[in-house]
Amino acid sequence: MSDKHLVADVISTGQPDKGQVYHFSNLTDAEREQRYGRGDYSIDSDIIAGSTVTIRFRFTVGKKEMSQNSRLRVAWRWPFDWADLQKTNPESSNHLTVKAPENVHLAVQYEQKGNLNPWLHNIDLRVTQGHLQQGDIVDLTCARWQAPTFATLDGYFLFLVNIDEDNCWFRLSDPPRFNIIPGPPDHLIAIAPSDGVIGESSTVRVRAVDAWENPTSIPKPQLLCQKAEIDEPGACDKYPVWEFPVRWKATGIQRLRATCQNLEAETNPVQVYLETPEQRIYWGDLHSGQSEIGCGVGTLENHYAYARDVAALQFTSQQANDHYITRAMWKHVRSVTPKYNDEGKFLAILGCEWSPPTEDGGDRNVLYRHDEPRMRRSGRFFA
């Protein structure tokens, strides 16, 4: 089962005493649509990171009638940094308008931080006059809206309805996801291992990034260094990164220079030894963010691949808060993590974030030295 389906397969998501999203994985899309309605949006299939776009959302009401104080909501996860919306100036960017059926009035509120963890950002519509019945349509338009600044293949919105004036939100069937793609190259980044040995082969990674630091495609660059033998590069599988095999010919502090079209970059300094040193320098990130299993975005596979191939780390872990992770998700994490271990080159460490309330100690990184079928939780307050 994929990461997104593992999330949608749980009964509900949310914090105690706050909003709960009920996923209804036991219902078919047709059953969910008939009972609770449908959510759609019109959007370009690909959005350039940080650009402005106009998105039109549409709710079609299902069999469950929505009377006074019932609510509709479009929500998105906290990493998606869509710009804050405004309703006062139609000529300005990020303008939100809503169209409802005659005799129905909706109170419209944009919330930068709502109560549905991890879908914290939302547009909330409350029925204050009249009622919505089966087949009614509510349209929202977000005009000239500044898009998120990070590239991802997993852009999406959550469509929700709240029928009974409580904290229970029902998830409608998800429309297709969309891509947020990088913009044009802005500058180059070249990363080499921090140390090397004469005759030893190393990998130097070169990438171009856009203005928001998203890796973006370029033709094959050149890599230059008089004190190293540099072979033809290969292209990375998942990301637009060029990987150069390098063998050192001279000891001391060395740097390499990468060029492509009108862009150039110099690598970090590399200490080259005559013989293998007793201790070596490795770079990693043990709190390297979260994927969709957790409160982040994207797959666990992409998380590890990005750390290895783009960030050029030698070790990392995935630290989803323990209260987000079901048994099925933990099994998935345990299955994916060891696939990225490559002895002497990259270490993917099984882990989670031990996450009691702040007053009880707050978040801690947990790293497992071996496979662990049982995840040690901080508590059951999210159960």
Q: Count other Cβ atoms within 10 Å, centred on residue 36.
A: 24
Q: 298 pLDDT exceeds 90?
A: yes
Residue 381, pLDDT score: 63
Separation between Cα atoms, residue 45 and residue 39, nearest integer Å: 17
Length of the chain measured in residues: 383
Measuring CA to CA, how many Å separate 39 from each of 42, 76, 125, 161, 171? Answer: 11, 14, 14, 10, 10
Q: Going from the N-terminus, what domains does the chain have, and what CATH number goes with each?
A: 3-181 (2.60.40), 187-273 (2.60.40.10), 284-367 (no CATH)
Instruction: Assign 375 a pLDDT band (cuts: 50, 70, 90).
Output: confident
Residues 250-278 have a mean pLDDT of 97
More confident residue, 25 or 159: 159
pTM: 0.93
Residue 329, pLDDT score: 95
State pLDDT tens for residues 91-120.
999 999 999 999 999 999 999 999 999 999
State pLDDT tens for residues 51-62.
999 999 999 999
Q: 347 pLDDT exceeds 70?
A: yes
| Cis before 277? omega within 30 | no
Residue 344, pLDDT score: 86
Q: 86 pLDDT exceeds 80?
A: yes
Residue whose token pair is 């649509």:
33
Residue 358, pLDDT score: 82
Residue 15, pLDDT score: 83
Averaged pLDDT score across all residues of the chain: 94
Q: 139 pLDDT exceeds 80?
A: yes
Spatial neighbors of 98 by CB under 8 A, at least 6 apart, are 106, 108, 125, 138, 139, 140, 141
Which of 184, 190, 188 has its CA nearest to residue 210? Answer: 184
Residues 290-314 have a mean pLDDT of 95
Residue 166, pLDDT score: 84
- Residue 94, phi then psi, degrees to nearest 5: 60, 40
Residues 267-286 have a mean pLDDT of 96
Residue 136, pLDDT score: 98
Spatial neighbors of 120 by CB under 8 A, at least 6 apart, are 75, 77, 78, 111, 113, 114
Measuring CA to CA, how many Å separate 139 from each of 129, 142, 218, 314? Answer: 17, 10, 40, 48
Distance from chain centroid for Cα 175: 18
